[in-house]
Structure 1
């Protein structure tokens, strides 16, 4: 049976923390591939100079190009609107019944996992894999397989702030993603 990791999120923008988690999960679990799955964002939540759904998808594609074991999963972007992980995983399992999915989450998501939509049913569909994250407890009573990995206190919010204020971005996100952001004038770079 094929083993696939899913790392979902807004990816606004994607950064090296995402790559580290994907790579660590790939090796620790002996996965066949890891898919980055950007979610859809409602247009009314868009901030001036912020990345569109198309921009976020393109940045994830650029990031995934760095490793042949990384792919992009577009199911939530194609569906649009609010996506619940339960609904997404039902759709993925219907599309790919012979795949065992591992849903990769950080400590902040682990802390709130008990509040996820249909979490008891979701726990039967996927295996959750977690990473500790500075500033979170990274704890739940639910079954989450923790992976030891370098903890990095990096967020898309910090990166957007750095773009806006002209701070250094060296080693924080893939060069191709930074080039795309500057070319498209995202996050106040124009």
Structure 2
């Protein structure tokens, strides 16, 4: 039997592994019915964006919010257009239409699964008010959702800074503004100037929204 010999110079092992790891883009999502959008939404988005150094903030109108009476929200096409008008002068703000395009109940978990699949290069920061932080344990598939996003909580008077989930807290100016109160004022023809962005308010008046049950 012939003796087999192996020459060391015939076998080469590479100890250098080139790995190109690009940092993920960091963007925020502010979800809601935006029924209607108001300056409080814009201030929250701006504060979170700057304090956390995010690349962009996406406003994500829901189709049919699972935690609210959907009869209280006007048609999604109006809410989407109101948001587009409210943010069009800020290049850092944009609209995420995935929930409206999908229709049905807007569960955040389902939305984020889809967004992560479509944009694996993005790290999402999901912005919620202090009242929603308290409600998080009741969210659909919350344990799985918490693995997909970083939650960003904004202070809300009367709500504690406590949660069983990891929350990045951002301090924003306290504003007693709500879409509910604005709808009531609009219905009664009370002034809402400066509380709703001017272009959005003009659209509301042109379309007769929040009047006579619209």
Bin of the TM-score, shorter chain as denominator length: over 0.9
Partners of 1:26 and 1:93 in 2: CA distance: 20
Match of 1:46 in 2: 71
Q: Does structure 1 conserve the Cα–Cα contact (< 8 Å) formed by 2:64 and 2:106?
A: no
Tell me whether 1:34 sits opposite 2:74 in the alignment. no
Tell me whether 1:98 sits opposite 2:121 in the alignment. yes
Partners of 1:103 and 1:119 in 2: CA distance: 13
* Unpaired stretches in structure 1, ≥5 consecutive residues: none
Partners of 2:119 and 2:106 in 1: CA distance: 19
Are the structure 2 counterparts of residues 187 and 104 from structure 1 closer, same or farther at C-alpha, using a change threshold of 3 Å? same
Shift of 1:135: 4.1
CA RMSD of aligned residues (A): 1.7
Match of 2:7 in 1: none
Match of 1:153 in 2: 176
Tell me whether 1:177 sits opposite 2:200 in the alignment. yes
Partners of 1:175 and 1:64 in 2: CA distance: 11
Partners of 1:126 and 1:54 in 2: CA distance: 27
Partners of 1:38 and 1:138 in 2: CA distance: 26
**What TM-score results when the alignment is normalised by the length of structure 2?**
0.83
Q: Does structure 2 conserve the Cα–Cα contact (< 8 Å) formed by 1:5 and 1:101?
A: yes
Helix, strand or coil at the partner of 2:210: helix
Match of 1:186 in 2: 209
Partners of 1:118 and 1:45 in 2: CA distance: 21
Partners of 1:184 and 1:15 in 2: CA distance: 17
Tell me whether 1:120 sits opposite 2:140 in the alignment. no
Deviations 1:41-60 (A, max 9, x none): 38x9435xx63110000001
**What TM-score results when the alignment is normalised by the length of structure 1?**
0.93
Shift of 1:137: 3.4
Q: Does structure 2 conserve the Cα–Cα contact (< 8 Å) formed by 1:133 and 1:153?
A: no
User: Which one has a larger percent helix, Structure 1 or Structure 2?
Assistant: 1
